[in-house]
Amino acid sequence: MPTAADTTPEVVAFSAATAVTPGDPGTFTADVHPEWTIGGRPNGGYLLAALARAAVAVAPHADVIAASAHYLHSPGPGAVQLEAEVLRAGRSASQVRARMSQDGTPCVETLFLVGALDPAAEPYWDAGLPAAPTTDFADAIRLPATNPAGLAVPIMGQADVRIDRDSLGWGRGRPSGRGELRGWIELPHGEAFDPISLLYAVDAFPPATFDIEMTGWVPTLELTSYIRAIPAPGPLRMVQRAHLVDQQRVDEVCWVWDSRGRVVAQATQLAGIRLG
């Protein structure tokens, strides 16, 4: 069966789609790729990854450890401008502020903690973690480039985002009511994940609220991600879960495991939603 990727004219590597070009000190330009969008708007984690490239470029450390993003205005596809400023350069970590704007309009404001992740480290204590689902990548269903609400999601023709069969009732109009999506993600051309692309992964799933009630756009207002380890090669296992819909806002958490079964990233977000 042909997948969405087979019929998409251009499948762009994630590293290319999030590349930044340095200009004056502390400034960069990037291009929001028209294929890395949902209903014409770029994915929030995708934008955060481009900002992280700018942050790491100015910082004296290499790995994003924590990222907090507030989304002010959704840029359209095309050129965006980035500014990055080191707030503090410490011995083992540094803090960076970075902003994305388009034609003078601030779009995303971010704070980063940048440090070093040890590829050889093992967790000291992990008994508080949720259990990873045990289903297989090959059995999961890749999401198509149009969602059940009829929205064009060309980004699904880029990354391979798959939902476990038992977590996909909402795709057939039968949400489970649990508010939880379980599945997988792989980058185009099998590009290996790294701390920067993990910032995209944690926001790559559809809203977990689709498993409660289908809606249109669920715009991210705030997204905070912690990168816990360098991921091993291979697709990532993910769980996205909603807790509370109140006053037209929903919070969601995301857990990300690598092929070793290690939690490599986690995130929380607050999003707007037209329910209630």
Which residues bind to its own copies, rule: CB under 8 A? 65-66, 68, 70, 72-73, 87-88, 93, 95, 97, 106, 109, 111, 113, 117-118, 121-129, 177-180, 209, 212-213, 221-222, 224, 226, 228-229, 241-247, 249, 251, 263, 266, 268, 270, 275-276
User: Which of 187, 186, 199 shows the shortest CA–CA distance to 110?
Assistant: 199
Least distance in angstroms from the C-beta of 164 to its own copies: 18
Q: Which is nearer to its own copies, 12 or 93 (CB)?
A: 93
Written in H, E and C, the secondary structure of 24-49 is CCCEEEEEECCCCEECCEECHHHHHH
Least distance in angstroms from the C-beta of 113 to its own copies: 6
Q: Which is nearer to its own copies, 36 or 205 (CB)?
A: 205
Least distance in angstroms from the C-beta of 60 to its own copies: 14
* Whole-angstrom distance, CA of residue 97 vs CA of residue 83: 8
* Whole-angstrom distance, CA of residue 270 vs CA of residue 265: 17
* Whole-angstrom distance, CA of residue 162 vs CA of residue 171: 12
Least distance in angstroms from the C-beta of 43 to its own copies: 19
Q: Which is nearer to its own copies, 103 or 126 (CB)?
A: 126
Assign 154 to helix, strand or coil. Answer: helix
At residue 68, φ and ψ (nearest 5 deg) are -125, 130
Least distance in angstroms from the C-beta of 17 to its own copies: 25
Q: Which is nearer to its own copies, 24 or 124 (CB)?
A: 124
19, 62, 42, 12: CA torsion to nearest 10: 40
Q: Which is nearer to its own copies, 31 or 109 (CB)?
A: 109
Angle at 222 between CA 40 and CA 82, to 5 degrees: 65
Q: Which is nearer to its own copies, 103 or 139 (CB)?
A: 103
Q: Which residues pair with 249 in a beta bridge?
A: 246, 272
Least distance in angstroms from the C-beta of 62 to its own copies: 14
- Token reading at 149: 């609400």
